[in-house]
Structure 1
Amino acid sequence: MTKLVLVRHGQSQWNLENRFTGWVDVPLTALGVREAKKAGKLLTKEGVEFDIAFTSYQQRAIKTLWLSLEAMEQMYIPVTKDWRLNERHYGGLTGLNKQETREKHGDEQVHIWRRSFDIPPPQIDVDSEFHPSHEAKYAAIDPALLPTGESLKITTERVLPYFEDQIMPFIRASANTIISAHGNSLRALMKRLFDVDDADIPGFEFPTGNPLLIELEDGTTNIISARYLDKKRAKELPPVPKKKS
């Protein structure tokens, strides 16, 4: 039985401030640090020994992974960082307070931007301080590949090829794997693993710093069981799909 853990980063500063974060590299709050450490302690209780870890280019996910592995005394395992596991890019909404955005554009429009599958937010201007081309961490990436405003569909199209090409070989080799990422990049993985419809996937939430432990049949992505380890902060999960042949 192979174990795959998906964990959303602990609370970030802009989570606390109720702002659209996306690709802005904000830090964890003190609560976020505690959530990350608790994630590691919960995984320790489960006795999970990891073989490899993956995370994004964003510090809130990276530090969550570090703190979790430290709590598990497993900081020695290989860690791969990749921008394709980054959060959804919120385009022109980046940095805006969510409530103020509702007041300006209306609840319905903001709901569409946040919870539709295939409608992206307004694109960000290249002159914006939040445009990814201004960050050194993306200097080696073809600017044409850098997003300027993504729907969940576009985010999924970015995340899943990376998952299939770079992460799945380890899972198929029965390597216990932990992925520390973001609400929407993890939704993309949930969509793939649980075979969730386009219309339904925006409704599933990942609580911050709460590991989702998925047990898989060795060599496959057939799910045996799935559960959040912090039961008090658990969110609804999709039904376990039927086994693939």
Structure 2
Amino acid sequence: MAATTFHHALGSIQSHACYSNSEFQSGRGILSVKMISTGVGVDMQLITRGSRCSGSWKLGAIRASSLHSSVADPVQLPSNGNSSDSRKKSNETALILVRHGESLWNEKNLFTGCVDVPLTQKGVEEAIEAGKRISNIPIDMIYTSVLIRAQMTAMLAMTQHRRKKVPIVLHNESEKAHKWSQIFSEETKKQSIPVITAWQLNERMYGELQGLNKQETADRFGKEKVHEWRRSYDIPPPNGESLEMCAERAVAYFKEQIEPQLLSGKNVMIAAHGNSLRSIIMYLDKLTSQEVISLELSTGIPMLYIFKEGKFIRRGSPVAPSEAGVYAYTRSLALYRQKLDEMIH
């Protein structure tokens, strides 16, 4: 199977972010990042229908400017209470996709599916490493599945973010849950990031394979049959979901709930699973059913898309030990990071 990580230089990001959820009332601000041409080369890997090739792109210097003293992400200004003062839409917003870190059943080579299994120590470390790689990318909202391994990954990743905002799970499952979890400090709300959990982002349900050892299952049913269950697009395992069935729910949720947030100027992170994210990537990259079955996603490796003018542009994922190791090659971005250091420290 071909790996699918694309390594690109960051392009231009301009975001005007605020929360639409009633629990997180804020204003708006601007962070402008403009690409200017230089001759710095960056290696990247491309995937073309299951084969691997290599190439290089030019990394432009990045010049950052900020308003109202914010460097890391858009500044939130108090609302003037005027309902006609609609939030200005951003030209570009960031979408980060990250598959959860290694789980205890990944380690044991068991079919996991929708069984709610936590991360291993390695998975915890992968989640923290993922957080380092996206620590300078603004995040306004987080979506995860309802499964603990995805939620752990999101929370651990955010411990590394430079803005140090606190991810808070929104509980809207009942009127009482919503009421009991309200925040009454406006300042605290400004320093928080809403986390929305959705079963539609769960891993695909593996039916009667859940909990079985993968190698033992292949020995029992035959490698070809198990491979068909795992890698075909429209053939489900016994009493389980096919990738096609998983895609129906995951893509519908993305289009109905997440894409409007990007349109409104929010920068979004999704922490989910191999198959639910493959489904979303199929939609973003307009892959065919044959192309998506060869898509492999590594645990704990974030992928970055820029949403601009209704289109998703894949910008890759950092491959160095940290996000800074990739993006701090340019002088202008080094100055940007220096301003961030001064603001935080």
Compute the TM-score of the two structures, normalised by the length of structure 2. 0.57
Equivalent residue, structure 2, for 1:131: none
Q: 8 Å contact 2:96–2:269 — kept in the other structure? A: yes
Partner deviation per Cα, 1:14-38 (whole Å, 9 max, x = no partner): 1111110000000100000000011
Q: Name the SS for the 1:179 alignment partner.
A: strand
Separation in 1, partners of 2:220, 2:311: 44
Partner deviation per Cα, 1:55-107 (whole Å, 9 max, x = no partner): 00000000100001121123221110011100000001100100001100111
Mapped pair 1:91 → 2:180: no
Mapped pair 1:196 → 2:312: no
Equivalent residue, structure 2, for 1:13: 104
Q: Name the SS for the 1:78 alignment partner.
A: strand
Q: 8 Å contact 1:211–1:230 — kept in the other structure? A: no
Partner deviation per Cα, 1:85-135 (whole Å, 9 max, x = no partner): 000000011001000011001110011000000000001xxxxxxxxxxxx
Mapped pair 1:50 → 2:166: no
Structure (1/2) with the larger helix percentage = 1
Equivalent residue, structure 2, for 1:65: 154
1:231 positional shift: 5.6
Q: 8 Å contact 2:285–2:312 — kept in the other structure? A: no
1:213 positional shift: 1.1
1:8 maps to amino acid: R
2:232 maps to amino acid: S
Q: 8 Å contact 2:138–2:267 — kept in the other structure? A: yes
2:193 maps to amino acid: I
Equivalent residue, structure 2, for 1:227: 316
Equivalent residue, structure 2, for 1:186: 277
1:216 positional shift: 2.3
Equivalent residue, structure 2, for 1:134: none
Q: Which runs of 5+ in 1 are unaligned?
A: 124-148, 233-245
Q: 8 Å contact 2:305–2:312 — kept in the other structure? A: no
Q: Which runs of 5+ in 2 are unaligned?
A: 1-91, 167-191, 322-345
2:252 maps to amino acid: P
Aligned residues: 203
Q: 8 Å contact 1:171–1:220 — kept in the other structure? A: no
**Quick check: which has more Rg, 1 or 2?**
2
Q: 8 Å contact 1:6–1:179 — kept in the other structure? A: yes
Q: 8 Å contact 1:88–1:150 — kept in the other structure? A: yes
Residue in structure 2 matching 1:3, options 70, 82, 94? 94
Aligned sequence identity (%): 45
Q: 8 Å contact 2:100–2:273 — kept in the other structure? A: yes
Mapped pair 1:81 → 2:190: no
2:93 maps to amino acid: T
Separation in 2, partners of 1:60, 1:176: 22
Q: Name the SS for the 2:143 alignment partner.
A: strand
1:160 positional shift: 1.1
Structure (1/2) with the larger strand percentage = 2
Q: 8 Å contact 1:8–1:183 — kept in the other structure? A: yes
- Which stretch shifts more, 75-84 or 186-195? 75-84
Separation in 1, partners of 2:142, 2:310: 18
Equivalent residue, structure 1, for 2:218: 102
1:71/1:26 CA distance change after superposition, 3 Å = same
Q: 8 Å contact 1:19–1:97 — kept in the other structure? A: yes
1:116/1:6 CA distance change after superposition, 3 Å = same
Compute the TM-score of the two structures, normalised by the length of structure 1. 0.80
Equivalent residue, structure 1, for 2:120: 29
